Amino acid sequence: MLPLQVRRAGDERLSLLVIGAHSDDIEIGCGATIATLIAQGRVGTVCWVVLAGSARRAGEARDSAEALLGTVEDRRVILREFRDGYFPYEGGGIKDFFEQLKAEHAPDVIFTHQRADLHQDHRVTSELTWNTFRDHLILEYEIPKYDGDMGAPNLYVPIDEPLVRAKVEHLKRHFGTQLDRHWFTGDLFSGLLRLRGVECNSPTSYAEAFYCRKATLG
Ligand SMILES: [Zn+2]
């Protein structure tokens, strides 16, 4: 399949804005994609945002982001303390924060939650991303969960097998508070990558998948 490549004029490196509602969402949804882009030398700037990052989970989120972004010199990790589970009622504050982000950053690509995610915090995050950023390429990542909202994504990033293992190890190493959750297991994370790899005929057998609702070819 002919791959689409996101490039800036003059081959400048990309500026990414990566948004997650909770401390481990970004790593689960698109951690291997971010790591792949960084390894390819295609990332110049990253603004990494966790909206409900407080107490122990804030420390986990920061340590994880710093580890994943290690070689990106121009990086900013922002942890906010919006109330976990209550984003529909925190919408005004989150919207104000997003407007502030837009004034401070000009990302080429934004990673956020997928629109049909049934977790209320994820859904509000996705809606306010689209509501705020109207001149940007937005890719929506997926989070497997109890609610059963997995759909049919339409954009895939092949992931090398060693990076699949690295993703699982990274999640287990950095998110100790989640290890007792029945769904937080390596086979779930690697299994989803394998499934998405089949769907895009990935040459590595694995892929992370996204929803790309609009894009321009040029
Ligand atoms: Zn979450």
172 within some domain:
yes
In a domain, 2, yes or no: no
- Cα of 69 from ligand 1 centre, angstroms: 20
- Asked if pLDDT for residue 216 goes beyond 80, the answer is yes
> Residue 166 falls within a domain, yes or no?
yes
- Does 3 fall in a domain? no
Cα(75) to centroid of ligand 1, in Å? 22
Amino acid at site 207: A
In a domain, residue 203? The reply is yes
Examine residue 216 and state whether it is found in any structural domain, yes or no: no
Nearest-angstrom CA–CA distance, 212 and 192: 18
Q: Is the pLDDT of residue 81 over 80?
A: yes
Write the secondary structure of 80-91 as one string of H (helix), E (strand) and C (coil).
CECCCCCHHHCH
141-154: pLDDT as tens digits:
999 999 999 999 99
In this prediction, residue 116 carries a pLDDT of: 97
Question: What would the mean pLDDT of 47-72 be, rounded to a whole number?
Answer: 92
**Do the bridges between strand 207-211 and strand 137-141 make them parallel or antiparallel, or are there none, so unpaired?**
antiparallel
CA distance linking residue 167 with residue 171, whole number of Å: 6
Q: Which residues surround ligand 1, an ion (CB under 5 A)?
A: 21-22, 25
Range of the domain at 96: 9-211
Distance from the alpha carbon of residue 111 to the mean position of ligand 1, in angstroms: 14
Tokens 């060693």 correspond to 162
- Does residue 96 fall inside a structural domain? yes
Residue 205, pLDDT above cutoff 80: yes
42 Cα–ligand 1 center, Å: 27
CATH code of residue 133 = 3.40.50.10320
Residues ≥6 apart with Cβ < 8 Å to 131: 95, 98
Summary mean pLDDT of the chain: 95
As a whole number, mean pLDDT of residues 117-131 equals 98
CA 10 to ligand 1 centroid distance, Å: 36
CA distance 185 to 205: 20
% pLDDT > 90, the chain: 89
Tokens representing residue 157 in the block: 């990033």
Which is more confident, 9 or 43?
43
Q: Is residue 57 part of a domain?
A: yes
Instruction: Tell me how far the alpha carbon of residue 22 lies from the centroid of ligand 1, in angstroms.
Output: 4
| Total tally of structural domains belonging to the chain | 1
